[in-house]
Chain A
Amino acid sequence: MELTVTDLAVARGGVPVLEGVSFTVMAGEALVLRGPNGCGKTTLLRTVAGLQPALAGQIGLEREAMAYAGHSDGIKAVLSVRENLQFWADVFATGSIEPALEAFDLNGLKDRPAGSLSAGQKRRLGLARMVVTGRPVWVLDEPTVSLDVSAVEMFAGAVRTHLRGGGLALMATHIDLGLDEARVLDVRPFKAKAPALDDFDGAFL
């Protein structure tokens, strides 16, 4: 399993933000995207995850291989931690949520309504969802926001377990996770040159 992206160009709101992005991530490897705010990291990740079409270029894997975690966690406040996680386990047909609860130390919280969790605990629940998807490619957008030091450690451990199991990860983050398997890709050189709008209607489609 490897994720190969060739000559990818992505646009946000009809304006091209990145072009000519090429990289390969092998199984057991993580690629960390770096770059200033607004340079297109989120757009690139959403495109790779199949949430929006690419302007040009190829993504080597089907979207069925990807599990995506964005800025918001998709947590229902009135459902308990266990119900939230079990829902995604049922949707992805993976069954057990115990390893995910274990990996993010959520066992003590599992019967609490998710609305009563702190921001960091919610984030942990959101990341635990990645474990229950059982998909080989994790696409993570700023996964460590609102996590404290020990929770970041927990997350790094979960990523490490995932990589060791033959998975791969693509993430945008600014902090060092201490992962030996991680390579860093700076997206600044891929900044799109001409914000040409040749297809006006395209912005609305």
Chain B
Amino acid sequence: MIALLTRDLRLAVRAGGGFGLGLAFFLIVVVLVPFGVGPQSALLAKIASGILWLGSLLACLLSLDRIFALDWEDGSLDLLATAPVPLEAAVSIKALAHWLTTGLPLVVAAPVFGMLLNLPGPGYGPVVLSLLLGTPALSVIGTFGAALTVGIKRGGLLLSLLVLPLYVPTLIFGAEVARRGADQMDYSTPMLLLAGISCGAIALLPFASAAVLRVNLR
């Protein structure tokens, strides 16, 4: 299992692996929003936390189809399915590798990007905290979507359509934590709900992903 994780991380950072792609996309979204909104720093400060959440959600979406599609194309998914590693574990490891290469960089970069959006001072902590709690759920749910669409040629659009509605609860509570934090309100309730969603997704979805993967491999 460690071997699978190191292989996926190594593949991500080598040529064409797509590491940093999500981060660059996040940066561009965050830079474009002030252009669209115009020179109104008060308005920007108000919507900053929501934009950060939406941006990281889209950045996460961008790299989802790589989770299984590449392994499917070169046949290693078949070989992994016959390997001694249970498919549920392999799926979890793949989600973890996706989070480490996409979600974690977003969390780390969020404060810098918050500055670009004129995020109010007290908002930084809650934004980072909410992304740290929420992005694992994005990766795990996305892995489920990727497992559903594996084997479909150019299934990226279908994957987005399947996954984005599933992201709604995470987005609602994540953005709520960030918004309340920026407004210096108590954000413990949405934070607990967000953590609950993440824990639930991590605990349950690998089984669903492995099941649909088995069906798709037939």
Contacts and interface: CB of A to CB of B under 8 A. Distances in A.
Nearest to A12: B218
A74 B76 contact: yes
B5 to A, nearest CB: 11
A71 interface: yes
Contact of A71 (B75, B81, B85): B75
A70 B84 contact: no
Contacts of B75: 70-74
Contact of A79 (B11, B82, B85, B217): B11
Interface string B1-39: 011100100110011110000000000000000000000
Given A91-B4, A91-B83, A76 B76 contact: yes
A72 B75 CA distance: 5
B58 to A, nearest CB: 26
A59 interface: no
A188 interface: no
A129 B84 contact: no
A74 B79 contact: yes
Given A49-B82, A70-B75, A83 B217 contact: no
A32 to B, nearest CB: 21
Contacts of A83: 7, 10
Nearest to A69: B79
Interface centre among B2, B10, B77, by most A CB within 10 Å? B10
Nearest to B90: A91
B131 to A, nearest CB: 29
22 contacts: A49-B82, A50-B82, A51-B81, A51-B82, A51-B217, A51-B218, A52-B218, A53-B218, A68-B79, A69-B79, A73-B75, A74-B79, A75-B76, A76-B11, A79-B10, A83-B10, A87-B7, A91-B3, A91-B84, A91-B85, A92-B83, A92-B84
Given A72-B78, A75-B76, A76-B7, 9 more contacts: A70-B75, A79-B14, A87-B4, A87-B7, A90-B3, A91-B84, A91-B85, A93-B84, A129-B79
